[in-house]
């Protein structure tokens, strides 16, 4: 039996979900025995190859064209797409800024607030995740599995990946569906 290919990518958010993935510790070995990890935090590949993967995992909200491109590319290359964490599921904490203009939030954070940055200047870095309204992944592309949590518990991530690697659809209810 060929092992299913799994890939993940991170967009606007804190990367806590990928850190929770690494919290699986030795269970990562069990997942590696069930699946071929292609583009994940523990491999050097940055994105799934053109041939695609069986399971794609997206962490983070979508707030700019670069994030949209990542979501569309993952959806195109993945048979099953998983939204991992509150940011990907409903926008999470980053979506709180949707109630303010980017300019107002940046001014409050970098000019008005006491900080380590004595310059009082708003950074002009295109890599900052502040360009636009934060949206959940399913608002841009169809999602097959939603794994909420900030971050989701490592046990839940292990359960979801194990089920998908074995060709089963995970059921998140009861003790597997909770927030921290």
Instruction: Quick: pLDDT tens for 65-79.
Output: 888 998 999 999 899
The pLDDT mean for the chain works out to 80
The answer to whether position 117 is within a domain reads: no
Q: Which backbone phi and psi does 53 adopt, to 5 degrees?
A: -135, 165
Q: What is the CATH number of the domain that holds 155?
A: 3.40.50.700
The answer to whether position 151 is within a domain reads: yes
28-87 confidence digits (pLDDT tens): 777 778 887 776 655 555 555 667 789 999 998 998 888 899 899 999 989 999 999 998
How many domains does the chain divide into?
Answer: 1
The answer to whether position 37 is within a domain reads: yes
The answer to whether position 68 is within a domain reads: yes
Q: Is the pLDDT of residue 168 over 50?
A: yes
Q: Is the pLDDT of residue 99 over 50?
A: yes
pTM of the model: 0.78
What number is the average pLDDT over the span 11-31?
73
The answer to whether position 43 is within a domain reads: yes
pLDDT the model gives residue 152: 86
Domain around 47? 5-95+133-173
DSSP-derived pairing of the beta strands 145-147 and 53-59: unpaired
The answer to whether position 108 is within a domain reads: no
Residue among 82, 84, 81, 1 nearest 36 (CA): 1
């Amino acid at each position: 039996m060929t092992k299913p290919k799994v890939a993940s990518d991170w967009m606007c958010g804190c990367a806590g979900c990928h850190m929770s993935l690494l919290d699986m510790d030795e269970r990562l070995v069990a997942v590696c025995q069930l699946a071929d990890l292609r583009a994940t935090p523990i491999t050097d590949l940055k994105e799934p190859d053109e041939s695609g993967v069986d399971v794609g995992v997206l962490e983070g909200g979508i707030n700019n064209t670069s994030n949209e491109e990542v979501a569309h590319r993952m959806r195109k290359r993945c048979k099953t797409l998983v939204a991992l964490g509150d940011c990907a599921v409903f926008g999470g904490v980053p979506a709180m800024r949707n109630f303010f203009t980017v300019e107002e939030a940046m001014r409050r954070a970098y000019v008005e607030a006491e900080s380590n940055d004595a310059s009082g200047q708003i950074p002009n870095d295109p890599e900052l995740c502040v360009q636009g309204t934060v949206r959940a992944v399913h608002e841009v592309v169809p999602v097959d599995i939603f794994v909420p949590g900030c971050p989701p518990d490592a046990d839940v991530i292990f359960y979801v990946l194990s089920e998908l690697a074995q060709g089963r659809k995970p059921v998140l209810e009861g003790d597997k569906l909770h927030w921290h």
